[in-house]
Amino acid sequence: MNYVIEAMRKRLGLVDAHLRDGRDYMAAGRFTAADISVGWSVGIAKYFGVVETLEPAVQAYFERVTARPAYKKAAG
């Protein structure tokens, strides 16, 4: 299990590095299916306590993704 947690933390670090380069989303300079996948992964990491707090860029990204009307409707 520690391997899975460490792998998720490593991937969150990659997301953070990508976003700190000034990007708002993962691909194409706009919201895409990649953001659905990455946003879901960030949420799972938070939900299961893999991370207690997110880096500021990742937190802002997660808030952007979860503020979308379609996300709110799906999360219902």
**CATH dotted code for 2-75:** 1.20.1050.10
For the segment 17-74, what is each residue's pLDDT rounded down to a tens digit? 999 999 999 999 999 999 999 999 999 999 999 998 999 999 999 999 999 999 999 9
Predicted pLDDT at 76: 83
Domain ranges of the chain: 2-75
Residue 32's pLDDT is what? 97
Task: Evaluate if residue 1 carries a pLDDT over 80.
Answer: no
pTM of the model: 0.90
Q: How far is CA 47 from CA 27, 30, 40, in A?
A: 24, 26, 10
Report helix angle 33-47 to 2-20, nearest 10: 130
Name the pLDDT band for 75 (thresholds 50, 70, 90). confident
